[in-house]
Chains A and B, each alone.
Chain A
C-alpha cells in the first residue's frame, strides 16, 4: 500500500554529520528533545526559586540574604518561567513537536528548517532571560504580570535592566513560538497521512493543535505589549505611563494608561492558561484511554469541547481585572462568559471519568499521574468558579486563594500530565523502560505533597492573606496559626522539591541501564506506537507512510482478538 501525498515527495533533509544530526537538526524528534531538555532545565531554575520563596515564607528572617527585593524577583521569575518558558515550551515545543508528526502519520513537520529556527530562537530567549539574573539590579521583580508603571519605575527591583531583558526575551520567545506554531498548525492541516481524517486524530493532537492556534492569536498581544513597554522604558513614550511622582519628582510622561497594558497582557494571559491546559487535556485523554483499555468516552464531545474552550477563552480576559479599576460594568459580561466556559470544561471531566467507568484499569505510573491530574484539575477548576464569579472574586483577588487556585489548575495539573506523558512515551522516545518502583515513589510523594502545599493556601486566601508579600508582619486579622501553616507548607514543598530527584535519576539512569522497551509496551492503538523502528528513525515511517483505517480508540472492541486494534489495521 504505497501512498504518497504531495509533500511526501519532497526529499527529506538528511543529516550528514553528528553536528547536523544532533545539534543543527531539522528532525522534529531531535528538536522536540532539545526543546524539552531546555525547558526542563530552566524549569528547574524556577523550581529552585519556588523553594527559596517558600523558605522565606515559612521561616521569615531565617535567611537574611533573602531581602524583599529578592523575594519579588523570585516570584516574578518563577511565575514567568513556569508559565511560559517551561509549560508552553515543553507542551508545544516538546510534546507538540514529538507527537504531531508521529500521531498524524507525517514524516516530519512541514517546514523543518523553520522548526529548527524556532528552537534556536527559543534557546536565545532563555539565554536572554537568564542574563537578567546577572545584569545590574538583577531580574525584574514586577510580578509575572509585569504591570506598568511599576515595572519600569524606581521602587521595583530590576526596573532598569531586569525588565528590559525580560521584555526582550519575551519578544524573542513570541517569534520562536510563532515559527513553531505555524508548523504545528500547518502540519496538522496539511500533512496527515491517508485515512487520517480530522476526527480520527488522537485527542493529544487536537489539544496541541487548538492550543497552537490559540498561541498564534494570543502571543501577538504579549509581543505588542512588550514592545510598547520597551518604548516607554527606553524612548520615554507614554503608552502606559501616566503623570506620576517618582522619587520626589514628577515624571515627564503624561496620559498613558496602565489599564491598556493590563488589557493587552490578559488578552494574551488568559488564553495562555488554556494554551497550557489544552495540550494537557488532550494528552491525559490518551493516557486514560490507553491504560483503561477503553475507548475515550464521547470523543466528539471532547473535540468540540476543546474547540469551544479555545474559542471562548478569547472573550474572558477581563476576569483578571474585576478590581483593576476598569469600567465595573464589564464585570457582568466577563463573569458570564467565564462561567460559561466551565460547562465544556466540566464535560471534559465527566468524559474522563466515564472513560474510566467500565474500563479495565491498569494502574501503571502514567495512569496514576492521569488520575491525580483529574483530582487536582477538578479541585482547581472548581476554585476557578469562585474567582470568575465577579463579586466573589472581590475579597479573594490578589490573595493566596488565587495563588492556590492557579497552582492547582495550571501548575500542578499540567505538570502531573507532563510527568505521566514522559513516563508514557519514554519507551518510544528512547527505546528503554524506566524503573517502576522509583516511578511510583516519585508519583506518591509528588501527588500527596503538592496537595499538602496548595490545599491550605486556599484557606489562607479566604482569611485574607495577600499574595506577593515578603512577610506578613504584624497584622491583626492573621492569627499565629497561619505562621505554623506556612512552616508546614514549606516543609511539604521541600519534600516535593527533593522528590523530583527520583524522577531525574530514574530518567537518566534508565537511558543507559533501563531494559530494552517493547515497541508498543502499553498496547496502544495510535500511530506513534507503530513506527518500524523504536526509537523512530529520521523520516519516521521507513519507505511507506502508514495508512489509517480507524480512529485511535479501538480498545476492547467486542469480538476482536486483542484488546486493541491499531489504527492501521484495515476493516474486515
Chain B
C-alpha cells in the first residue's frame, strides 16, 4: 500500500514540479522555435505516457495486493493486447519523431543568403573572424599560427586579407539576418553553445564544423563551452551581442582586418611568415565561402 501511494504522489509531485518550478527554457532568441516545439511535442507525449503508466501501476498495486483469499490470474500471453499496445506506442513514437526530423531538416540546410562568421576556440577562450567586404573567409589552419597570426590565417590567401579579426572579444551579430557560424578549434574539442539560441555544435580540431541560425532578439548573451576541454572548461566564456544592422555595421567598421595587422608587423616577421607558409602550401586548405 505505501508504495502505491508513493508512486501516485511522485507522479503528482512531478507534475506539480513541472508546473511550478522556476526552471524552464530561457526565452528564445533565435529562429529555432521549431526545436522548441519538437521538444514540446515530445514532452506532451512522454508526460502522458509517464502519468498513465505510473497511475496504472499504482492502481494495480492496490487492487492486486496480497490479502487472504486473493489469488493471481494465470495468463501466459495475450497477443491482441500486446499488438494493440505496440501499435499505439509506434504511433506515439512517430508522432514525436516527425517534428524532430523536420526541425533537423532545417537545421542541416543552411540558407543561401546566410552570412558567414567564424568562431575559433582555444583553451579557454573564444575568438571570432568576419569575412570582410569580399564575403569570403580566407583559408586558415593551425600550422599557420604564430604570435602575430593567432588565428592561423594563410598569409598567401588573398581572400584572407580583408578578414576582420576579433581576438578574445565579443561576437556581434545583426538581428534578423541568418548567419552560418563556422567553427574551428586551435587545440582540443570545444562546443559553441548559447542557450538562448538553442543551437550548438562541437569545434573539432582538424576539421571545420558549422551550424546556422537567425538571431531574432537584440541583447547580450553568454557563450558557453559545452564540450569538456580541460581544466578551464567552465571558464571558457564569451559574449554575443545581437544588435540592429546599423549598430552592427558601425561596430564592424572599427574592427581590424588581417591586412592591417600585417601592415603593423615588421618586414622581417612578414618574410618569415611567408616563407613558412610557402613551405606548407602544398597542402593548402581552401577558403570558406
Q: Which residues of A are in contact with B by a Cβ distance under 8 Å?
A: 68-69, 72, 141-143, 147, 149-150, 153, 155-157, 242-246, 250, 255-259, 292-295, 297-301, 323-325, 328-329, 331-332, 335-336, 339-340, 342-343, 346-347, 349-351, 353-354, 356-363, 368, 371-372, 374-375, 378-379, 382-383, 385-386, 389-392, 394-395, 397-399, 447-448, 451, 455-456, 459-460, 462-464, 466, 468-473, 475-477, 479, 481-482, 485, 553, 555-558, 563
Contact = CB atoms under 8 A, between A and B. Distances in A.
A474 B114 CA distance: 32
B5 to A, nearest CB: 12
Interface stretch (B160-168, B219-227, B243-251, B267-275): B219-227
A371 B183 CA distance: 47
B209 A325 contact: yes
Contact of B71 (A256, A295, A556): A556
Contact of B200 (A259, A323, A349): A323
7 pairs of A and B residues whose beta carbons are closest in the complex = A242-B206, A464-B195, A391-B103, A155-B230, A325-B209, A389-B100, A556-B72
A468 B61 contact: no
Contact of A350 (B85, B123, B193, B201): B85
B189 A149 contact: yes
18 contacts: A68-B232, A155-B231, A297-B78, A340-B93, A343-B89, A343-B90, A347-B85, A371-B57, A375-B7, A375-B10, A379-B50, A390-B103, A395-B25, A468-B233, A469-B234, A473-B235, A475-B222, A555-B72
Contacts of B204: 258-259, 324-325
Contacts of B113: none
Nearest to A464: B195
B191 interface: yes
Contacts of A455: 14, 17
Contacts of B112: none
B201 A323 contact: yes
Contact of A378 (B34, B54, B193, B230): B54
Contact of A358 (B18, B42, B64, B228): B64
Given A245-B145, A331-B108, A390-B101, A557 B123 contact: no
A356 B209 CA distance: 50
B26 A477 contact: yes
A399 B38 CA distance: 18
Contacts of A362: 66
Interface in B140-189: 141-143, 145, 183, 185-189
B65 A361 contact: yes
B73 A347 contact: no
Interface in B87-141: 89-90, 93, 96-97, 100-101, 103-105, 107-108, 122-123, 141
A238 B224 CA distance: 29
B289 to A, nearest CB: 19
A155 B229 contact: yes
B203 interface: yes
B39 A386 contact: yes
Contacts of B32: 394-395
A391 B104 contact: yes
Interface of B: 1, 3, 6-7, 10, 14, 17-18, 21-26, 32, 34-35, 38-39, 42-43, 45-46, 49-50, 53-54, 56-57, 60-61, 64-66, 70-78, 81-82, 85-86, 89-90, 93, 96-97, 100-101, 103-105, 107-108, 122-123, 141-143, 145, 183, 185-189, 191, 193, 195-196, 198-207, 209, 220-222, 224-235, 237
Contact of B224 (A156, A245, A368, A466): A466
Nearest to A362: B66
A335 B97 contact: yes
Nearest to A364: B66
Nearest to B53: A378
A353 B53 contact: yes
A5 B127 CA distance: 71
B53 A257 contact: no
Contacts of A378: 49-50, 53-54
Contacts of A323: 191, 200-202
Most chain A CB atoms below 10 A, which of B10, B73, B188? B188
Contacts of A395: 25, 32, 35, 39, 195, 198-200
A476 B222 CA distance: 7
B234 A68 contact: yes
Contacts of B78: 297-298, 354
B222 A477 contact: yes
Given A356-B60, A386-B46, A391-B38, A471 B143 contact: no
A347 B89 contact: yes
B227 A398 contact: yes
B184 to A, nearest CB: 11
B231 A335 contact: no
A250 B195 contact: no
Contacts of A363: 1, 3, 65-66
B39 A245 contact: no
B46 A558 contact: no
Contacts of A563: 71-72
Given A72-B231, A242-B206, A245-B142, A325 B201 contact: yes
A250 B143 contact: yes
A252 B184 CA distance: 19
A156 B228 CA distance: 9
Nearest to A300: B77
Given A300-B77, A470-B233, 12 more contacts: A141-B230, A141-B231, A150-B228, A155-B232, A242-B142, A258-B206, A325-B203, A353-B56, A391-B38, A395-B35, A398-B193, A472-B234
Given A69-B231, A394-B200, A243 B82 contact: no
A503 to B, nearest CB: 18
A257 B103 CA distance: 29
A331 B104 contact: yes
Most B-side CB within 10 Å, residue of A258, A356, A394: A394
A245 B184 CA distance: 12
A389 B104 CA distance: 9
Contacts of A343: 86, 89-90, 93
Contact of B186 (A244, A391, A456): A244
A399 B195 CA distance: 10
B66 A361 contact: yes
A374 B108 contact: no
A299 B78 CA distance: 10
A243 B54 contact: no
Nearest to B227: A398
B229 A150 contact: yes
A556 B73 contact: yes
Given A156-B231, A350-B82, A391-B35, A325 B207 contact: yes
A295 B78 CA distance: 12
B151 to A, nearest CB: 11
Given A295-B74, A391-B100, A361 B142 contact: no
Contacts of B23: 456, 459-460, 462-463, 479, 481-482, 485
